Structure formats: C-alpha cells, structure tokens
C-alpha cells in the first residue's frame, strides 16, 4: 500500500492499480486491511477520472470496513441517533435559558478558542495556519472535554442537566479540561490557545456552558464536498467514523452537526466566527487576516508558510499529504464529478447549501 501510494503521488496510476488489485485479492489480508486497500484503489481510479469505478471501489472498501468493525460498533447506539437525541433533549431545556457563568480562561492564557465544523470541512488547514503564528498554541483532535462528556453527555438526556449544574461542579470540569490540555502536551500559557476538533460541534452545549468567553471558529465548506470527502477518506475507527462509512449516514451526521451549530449560533453571538474554506483558497490573506483580528493577533508572513510546519511536524489526519504541498483548490467542487452517485443524499444537504450561499448546481 505504501508503494502504491507513492506510485499514485508520482502519477504511475497503472502500477498502483496493478499492485492494489493483487493485494485486495490476497487471502492473507484481514478485512480491515482489505477495506483500506480497496479505498486506496478507489483513490487511484478517481485520479484517472474513472468515477463510476472509483465510486464502486469506495463503496466496497467502506462496506468491508463496516463488516469488520460491526462487532465493536453495530450493537452500540449509532452516533447519528445519539446526536439527534441530544438535539431533541435541547428542545426541552434550551441554552437560551441557561445561566451565564462568570468563568473565563485561566490566568496566563491570552485567549481560548475552539476550532470545529465537520470532518473534511477545512479545520486541519486552519489549525496548521494558526499554529504557524508565534503567539498561538494549537492542539489537534484530542478528547479534552472527556470529563464534561462523562458528566453531561454520557446519555442524550443528560444535557438537560447543564441548566441546573452548580458552579462548583462546572469549575471542576473546567479544571479537568485544562489539566487534560496540558497532559496532551499543549503549553497554552501566554498564548492564544486553539483547541481543534471538528466533532466538537456536537459538544457545543458543553462549550457554551463551561467556557462563556471562548471564541468558536466554525470551518465551513460546500456541504456536498464535505460529505463526499468524509465518506471517501479512511479515518481511525470510532463510533463517529463508523457513521461515515455510508453516504446516507455521512449526510445525516452532517445535517445533525449543522443543526447543532445553528441551535447555538444565537447563544454564542459575536463569539462565533465562520471561516469559509473556499475563501481561504481564493484570498488567503483576507480570510486569515479576519481570523487574526477576531483572535487579537497580527497577521504575519509565518501564516503563509504553514506547509513547512506540516512537513516538519507531521499530522495524523487524511489531510496531511495535501497540506504538505501548500494551499490548493484541488478538492473544490469535487462533488460535481460524483453528482449522480450523490443524488440520494443531495436533498438532505440542499437546505444547508442554500443557507450557506453555495450554488445549487
């Protein structure tokens, strides 16, 4: 697979296809290995413009992974069902009625920022850009809110208890959060601290209640590109990643995430700042400059050199290879090549396409 990926990177797609077809047929592979090989084969077919074949290979690889991980996830509540249940619970105890806590960032932290959105919406690009700034410390996809999740989101209905939670309990959870941040290796003192996790959109109830001064950066990209890309990529398996193995599951999960973001937009008010992925590609300085203004830091040339940081540090996301090559609009509008295959889920995404101002066709 490593050699086939190198073949793909060098444009030797025929060699990559031959390697991967032989590999996928090898009886010694585990189902997980076979699913990953099928997914990489789909990437190569996509690079050759063989869209129907690529789609079939992506679907086959995802279904192989679905079956392989079924013993771990199929009998658990689905991530999408849980997200919908949380949204329903909020209807009976909305955040508009929650008391506002006086708490802020701990002494020494210049500003506290959550960077979220949805997988493949541009969060990694923005995190790497901001992490290149000398006044910013970032943390990439760590479960920093785990204590708060156990307290108020172990079950969907628990979120209703946020309204009546005593300040002493909230203070303990904030302390646990910052302890976890530092345990994960972040050094936020004297910095603008950016906690990046795209799935923290589903944890906006906790963020809004626990951190009333935190800035929330919402990465936004064409919903159709987001859903297609999330379905095509191979993530470390989790209940959320398991949800992304089917197109209907991915589209439904995206819809739930955007409903959660919409639910909290009014509560967050001016603390919420949307960063449009396409705008970063088209006019990097203007879009990133606006983010810097929100965070209270100057725009510097270091931000344009984010690719150097990616190559030096390495990142454990599907975006790594692309980001190491610098700013690219390669994936913009990719959904159009899969228009026919996406047809069953386009109605789910259409309201968000319209709401966010993207062209219908």
Element spanning 6, H or E:
helix 2-9
In terms of C-beta density within 10 A (0-12 exposed, 13-18 middle, 19 or more buried), how is residue 92 classed?
exposed
Q: What is the structure's pLDDT at 331? A: 81
- The rounded distance, in Å, linking the Cα atoms of 156 and 197 is 20
DSSP per-residue string spanning 302-317: GGGGHHHHHHHH--SS
Q: What is the structure's pLDDT at 160? A: 87
- The rounded distance, in Å, linking the Cα atoms of 186 and 195 is 10
- For 166, list phi and psi in degrees, rounded to 5: -70, 150
- The H-assigned helical ranges of 216-357 are 223-232, 239-243, 247-268, 277-282, 284-295, 306-313, 320-324, 339-342, 346-355
232 Cβ contact partners less than 8 Å away, ≥ 6 residues apart = 39, 42, 43, 46, 58
The gap between the terminal CA atoms of the chain, to the nearest Å, is 36
- The rounded distance, in Å, linking the Cα atoms of 111 and 194 is 8
Q: What is the structure's pLDDT at 338? A: 97
Q: What is the structure's pLDDT at 348? A: 98
Q: What is the structure's pLDDT at 226? A: 98
- The rounded distance, in Å, linking the Cα atoms of 127 and 144 is 16
Q: What is the structure's pLDDT at 307? A: 65
* SS3 state of residue 70: helix
Mean pLDDT per 10-residue section of the chain, whose length is 361 residues:
95 96 93 96 96 97 97 91 94 73 79 97 93 94 96 92 91 96 95 97 95 95 98 95 97 98 93 95 94 96 75 56 63 94 97 96 78
- The rounded distance, in Å, linking the Cα atoms of 32 and 38 is 10
- The rounded distance, in Å, linking the Cα atoms of 288 and 276 is 10
40 Cβ contact partners less than 8 Å away, ≥ 6 residues apart = 1, 4, 5, 8, 16, 20
- The rounded distance, in Å, linking the Cα atoms of 41 and 8 is 10
């Amino acid at each position: 697979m490593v050699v086939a990926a190198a073949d793909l990177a060098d444009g030797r797609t025929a060699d990559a296809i031959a390697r991967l077809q032989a590999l996928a047929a090898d009886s010694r592979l585990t189902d997980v290995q076979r699913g990953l090989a099928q997914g990489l084969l789909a990437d190569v077919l996509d690079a050759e413009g063989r869209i129907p074949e690529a789609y079939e290979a992506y679907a086959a690889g995802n279904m192989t992974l679905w079956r392989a991980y079924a013993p771990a996830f199929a009998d658990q509540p689905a991530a999408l069902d849980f997200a919908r249940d949380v949204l329903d619970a909020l209807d009976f105890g909305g955040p508009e009625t929650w008391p506002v806590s006086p708490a802020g960032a701990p002494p020494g932290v210049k500003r506290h920022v959550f960077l979220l959105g949805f997988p493949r919406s541009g969060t990694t690009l923005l995190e790497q850009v901001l992490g290149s700034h000398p006044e910013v410390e970032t943390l990439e996809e760590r479960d920093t809110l785990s204590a708060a999740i156990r307290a108020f989101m172990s079950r969907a209905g628990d979120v209703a208890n946020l309204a009546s939670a005593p300040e002493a309990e909230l203070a303990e959870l904030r302390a646990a959060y910052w302890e976890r941040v530092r345990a994960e290796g972040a050094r936020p003192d004297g910095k603008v601290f950016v906690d990046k996790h795209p799935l923290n959109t589903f944890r906006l109830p906790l963020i809004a209640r626990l951190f009333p001064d935190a800035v929330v950066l919402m990465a936004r990209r064409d919903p159709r590109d987001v859903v297609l890309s999330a379905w095509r990529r191979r993530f470390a398996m989790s209940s959320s990643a398991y949800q992304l193995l089917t197109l209907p599951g991915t589209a439904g999960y995206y819809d739930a995430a955007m409903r959660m973001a919409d639910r909290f937009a009014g509560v967050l008010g001016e603390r919420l700042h949307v960063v449009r992925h396409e705008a970063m590609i088209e006019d990097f300085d203007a879009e990133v400059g606006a983010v810097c203004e929100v965070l209270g830091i100057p725009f510097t040339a270091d931000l344009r050199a984010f690719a150097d940081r990616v190559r030096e540090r390495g990142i454990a996301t599907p975006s790594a290879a692309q980001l190491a090559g610098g700013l690219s609009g390669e994936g913009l509008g990719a959904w159009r090549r899969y228009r026919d295959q996406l047809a069953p889920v386009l109605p789910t995404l259409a309201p968000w396409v319209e709401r966010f101002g993207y062209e219908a066709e």
